Structures are given as C-alpha cells and as structure tokens.
Amino acid sequence: MLRCLLSELNDDLQPLAAAAVKATEQSYAPYSGFHVGAAALLENGMIVTGSNQENAAYPSGLCAERVTLFHAGHQYPDIPVMALAIAAATKGEQVESISPCGACRQVLLETEQRYGKPVKVLLCGRKDVIIAESAESLLPLCFGTNDLKNHR
C-alpha cells in the first residue's frame, strides 16, 4: 500500500477523491453522524458516486461503498470499475482516515472478480490517501468466485 498527500494524487485520481468527499454531503446518517461517501471510476472515465444510507434497524442500512458499486453495476453492467475512493466526515469535518468494513471489502473483491481486473482503492483522509492497488489486498485469505466454482 502507498500513502501520499491528497495533493499528490495524479490527474485521474484527484477528481475521484474530490467526488468521494462531495458524496459525504448526500449521506443519510441521522443515527451515527458518520457520513461516508464513495466514488467509482469506470473504465470509460465516468465517475459514479454514492453515500451511506442508515436505518433505525441498523442492519437495514447500506454503506457508501456498496451503494456506489451496486449502482455502477446496475447502470453500467459491462463497464469495469477501475478505482474506488472512500471518504468520511463527522460534524462537518473530513475524518483523518477511513477503511471499508468487511462486507464492503467482500463486494469490492466480487467487483474485481466480475470484471477480471483489479480495483484500486483510495482511502481518503483529511490530508493523506492510502492507496491499495487491488481490493484483494484489503481482504487476505478471501472467499470468492473461485471457491464456488468447484461446488456447482
């Protein structure tokens, strides 16, 4: 994994990180106050965004990463996701660091396997960005499509 300043991101990734930060503003987080935004860069250059959507029955809510990836998969099913940026804010301030939950890591892995291409993951903090070159690197000893192929 690589760590850099937000300002050091290349021209392709700067708008993606900015879109994730902006997406935190559309979060519905009345219970936790933890507003998460995500932005997916598709192979055709399009950016798709999403935010976390909470529910009083906590398991019924959905994380920003899954909202974004499911939306991209539905709207653009044949266009691979190349990168996903994630940002979070609380009390109107961007947090120092953010990392996807286990369920989101699993969905990221499935997205990689669906398209047969790595998905770069940007964890956007207030000043720094941690870049994982693939979703699989965030989920060691992962369970994925290859594990199911032998059981069909």
Active site residues: 65
> Contact at 8 Å (CB) between 56 and 48?
no
Average per-residue pLDDT for the chain:
93
Residue 151: per-residue pLDDT: 58
What average pLDDT does range 101-111 have in this prediction?
Answer: 94
pLDDT in tens, 38-89: 999 999 999 999 999 999 998 899 999 999 999 999 999 999 999 999 999 9
105-109 mean pLDDT: 94
pLDDT in tens, 23-46: 999 999 999 999 999 999 999 999
* Beta-ladder partners of 94: 89
Q: Is 85 helix (H, G, I), strand (E, B) or coil?
A: strand
- pLDDT exceeds 90 at position 90: yes
Angstrom distance (rounded) from CA 60 to CA 72: 20
Position 147 scores a pLDDT of 67
Contact (Cβ atoms closer than 8 angstroms) between residue 49 and residue 38: yes
Residues 6+ apart with CB under 8 A from 121: 83, 84, 85, 86, 100, 108, 131, 132, 134, 135, 138
The closest of 121, 94, 97 to 107, measured between CA atoms, is 121
pTM of this structure? 0.92
